[in-house]
Amino acid sequence: MIDNLHEQIKIWFAEDIGDGDHTSLSCIPATAMGKSQLIIKEKGVLAGVEIAKEIFKAFDPELKIEVFINDGAEVNPGDIVFVVEGKILSLLQTERLMLNIMQRMSGVATVTRKYVKQLEGLKTRVLDTRKTTPGLRLLEKEAVHIGGGVNHRIGLYDMILLKDNHVDFAGGIDKAILSAQNYLKEKGKSLKIEIEVRSFDEIEQVLKLGGVDRIMLDNFSVENTKKAVELIAGRFETESSGGITFDTLRAYAECGVDYISVGALTHSVKSLDMSFKAVK
């Protein structure tokens, strides 16, 4: 969960409410009490309940929340996730922020679960990427986790990933790896090193030099991925990336790679439909 979640929630509310929810203030008495329930309108995987609880608590600590379905559960239209009771003004002003977060996170978790199920019976795990919504990365990565996927690096700071541009600018595979190793030693940091390769020649260079934790096979065909995994022979972790779709996912996994990174888990997800309605 986001370390500074409460500060982030303040920013989200400031963006939405501004100098006041004049619609609600104009027609709802300040002391009026009521209940609202979160209703699922589309089949999927639920995510964001814990974040929703923090949103309600941050806005109005007196709101009472009764949760019936928790994060990670598979839900269907008509399911009631939770009921919130308290000031109606608070229910109305928290509604959209809570829904935006939960719909987005549930959409990510739903797609992730679909990919994870596609790999049932195989050792390969599905990874997310940095192709996330600015400001929502940690929530989206939490949703991937809830959906059964694995988080790749969170950002540029928690892993060294030498991609094609890094290799080319550094002057080649060997120079990129050696520079990364020296950097970590000088800075006293302990970070995993992953390197992207584009050909069998580059794989051979990595195998000869060593000093990395994982090799990313970039835009390899299924046939070449199988050959690459056999060549690497378990000496390093392997990851397939680039141009892999849901339809080709299992074929790549059957090659024996440890991970497959899928940008589609976060960059083009449809939010899961749900609504927050008054309980009459």
Known catalytic residues? 96, 131, 163, 196, 218
Angle at which helices 88-118 and 137-146 pack, to 10 degrees? 60
Say if CB 149 and CB 125 are below 8 A apart.
Answer: yes
CA 96 – CA 257 distance, rounded (Å):
41
**Cβ atoms within 10 Å of 66's Cβ, excluding its own:** 11
222-237 as b/e: b if 16+ CB within 10 A? eeebbebbeebeeebb
**Which amino acid, 23?**
T
CA 196 – CA 204 distance, rounded (Å):
13
Instruction: Strand 274-278: give its sheet, edge to edge.
Output: 64-67, 80-87, 33-40, 274-278
> Quick one: tokens of 253?
């996994």
**Cβ atoms within 10 Å of 175's Cβ, excluding its own:** 12
**Which amino acid, 192?**
K
> Quick one: tokens of 67?
């949760």
> Quick one: tokens of 135?
């400001």
